[in-house]
Amino acid sequence: MSELNPVVGVSIHVVLALFGFTGNIFILIIHFLDWLKTREVNPCDLIINCIVLSNNFLQGTVLFNEICFFMFLAFYAQNWVINVLATMMSSLAFSSLWCSTCLCFYYCVKIINLSGTCFYKLKSALPLMVPWLLISSIALSWTMGLPAYWDLYTTTFFPIHNSTRNETLTVSMTIRSRCKCLFPIYMIVSAIAFTIIFITAGTIIFSLCMHMRRMKQSSETSGASKVGSHLSAAKTITLLLILYLVFYGALNTIFNETTEIGTWYFSLCFITIATFPVINAIILITGNRKLSNAIKKLLGINSGNVAADEMNVSKS
């Protein structure tokens, strides 16, 4: 079994964890400082905080998993250890995905304009709906993830490799499902979330095109800020969709019964998963005016529109 060097593997995950924790904790600090000023919780901030917390716990779980695998293999090889880690990673990954789905839905409802009483009622009730959407998303995620503890099991082999008269005993493990239905269920639940994200992205892009067409016909210039909001939301949702597709491709590869634990391919998939919270934090920061302005202030970058942007964000 070709394995990644333990020192290299742990070092990569430690570095990724430091970047991931830094970016996500930065988001939490900015939102906390903003809450101290207003004593109000913005629904968008609440959704982002749930995504950030899920990503932080996921980053920590992945780091613990890799440290145990590379440095404490006898402990890691126990079925209950692998099952607990697989359950936590699945539940936290679903939490991050479905909270991001809530964020995409929130952007879509806030940005687009549709005629009709039902839509206006939905738009006015959205701040009250957000906490319940998040609670439902997290409950669904852990309901999907917890069965993995009882369903998954590992098969362990000890192949002996002969090399120049020396015999080397190695460990080969794969993750399997007892009911053979857990992974297809994961794929279906993920596909539903991806479909919602794709629809919201398409709706915002369509709304953007219609708005730009109206501006062109009426020669308006006052709608430039709205176009910027459309573009920012469309970019954020599209990047999140691409990121989650790559992330779930790596996660499903790890849970695939034909993937051997510890191979280069397996380690590469885990590095991809460890990179996910880092890139997710970057997308959330760059796609949010409040967070991007805070980064500019921190880095000493002058921006004449920072104050105006922050006022627009607080109103939204």
Dihedrals phi, psi of 261, to nearest 5 degrees: -65, 130
Give the model's pLDDT for residue 52.
95
pLDDT band at 313 (very low <50, low <70, confident <90, very high): very low
Place of tokens 């950030």: 52
pLDDT band at 1 (very low <50, low <70, confident <90, very high): very low
Q: Where are the domains of the chain?
A: 6-315
Of 290, 293, 304, the residue nearest 38 (C-alpha):
290
**Across 230-247, average pLDDT:** 84
pTM score: 0.84
How does pLDDT run across 157-188, given as a tens digit for each residue?
555 445 445 544 455 667 777 887 888 888 88
Q: Which two tokens stand for residue 128?
A: 């009250």
**Helices and strands counted in the chain (H then E):** 11, 5
Give the model's pLDDT for residue 171.
55
CA distances from 141 to 5, 34, 185, 199 (A): 34, 29, 12, 21
pLDDT band at 311 (very low <50, low <70, confident <90, very high): very low
Options 2.60.40.10, 1.20.1070.10, 3.40.50.1400, 2.40.30.10; CATH of 6-315: 1.20.1070.10
CA distances from 122 to 106, 203, 235, 237, 248 (A): 11, 16, 24, 20, 31
Residue 212 has pLDDT above 90, yes or no: no
